[in-house]
Amino acid sequence: MGKHTKKTDFTLSGRFLTYVLSKGCNVKGIRLATSRGEQYIKLSKALRPACADILQPGTWIQIQGCQKVNTKTGKVKLKAKSIMPALPGSSSSDDIEPSPHAIGNVQKGKIRICQKSSCRKRGSRKVLTALNTALQTSGRDKEIQLQPMGCVGKCKAGPNLVVLPDKTRYTRVKPKNITHILQQHF
Ligand code: FES
């Protein structure tokens, strides 16, 4: 830790917005709508596998972790160590009661794309990037969540993609197919 860095614990509640993916398309953090605005919170490595599939946009959650504040620049970095359900409107640990049913209705669906080696060789990363761009430019990135997924056993027909809740599978997807897929399902 640098001499200008101060480390403290934090507790924060808010609505889960979206996952943030690393360059390798793995989940590395989340965006949370809180009373102090939208926050990016990095997930500890131990939390990543457990969180990757379960959070739905609009879900109220409470996060505990540590924050590093650069006392020179004022920049704050948040890292989550634990995530639990929270009641809508929660702001501190004192008024939290776990509620697994506290799920909002913002989300319309999910698109999962295989990011394992065979699909990657066949261009699944380009498809993921194209989808991400299409959703962000149309402002639908909060309604339709993108998720990397593991091998589904159809490696030679990759890139493989699944649209939820319909559970429709697509094979050999190319970036030019994205518009059609979005029109079909959303
Ligand atoms: S690597 Fe994508 S389906 Fe097997």
pLDDT tens digits for 96-135? 333 333 333 457 888 999 988 999 999 998 998 888 888 8
Question: 71, 95, 119: which is the final residue of a domain?
Answer: 95
Gap between the Cα atoms of 16 and 142, Å rounded: 10
Q: What is the pTM of this model?
A: 0.49
Residue 46, amino acid:
A
Residue 166, pLDDT score: 83
Q: Is 34 in the pocket of ligand 1 (CB under 6 A)?
A: no
**Is residue 148 lining ligand 1, measured as CB closer than 6 Å?**
no
Which helix (DSSP H) or strand (DSSP E) does residue 70 occupy? strand 60-70
Question: Are 74 and 130 in a shared domain?
Answer: no
**Is 100 domain-assigned?**
no
pLDDT in tens, 137-149: 888 887 888 888 8
Domain count, the chain: 2
Which residue, 66, 95, 124, sits at the end of a domain?
A: 95
In which band, very low, low, confident or very high, does the pLDDT at 157 lie, cut at 50, 70 and 90?
Answer: very high
For the CA of 117, the closest atom of ligand 1 is 1
Would you say residue 90 lies in a domain?
yes
Q: Indicate whether 26 and 82 sit together in one domain.
A: yes
Give percent of the chain above pLDDT 70: 85
**∠ CA 15-20-25 to the nearest 5 degrees?**
150
Its domain, for residue 127, covers 109-185
Beta bridge partners of 71: none
pLDDT for position 105: 40
User: What CATH number corresponds to the domain at position 25?
Assistant: 2.40.50.140
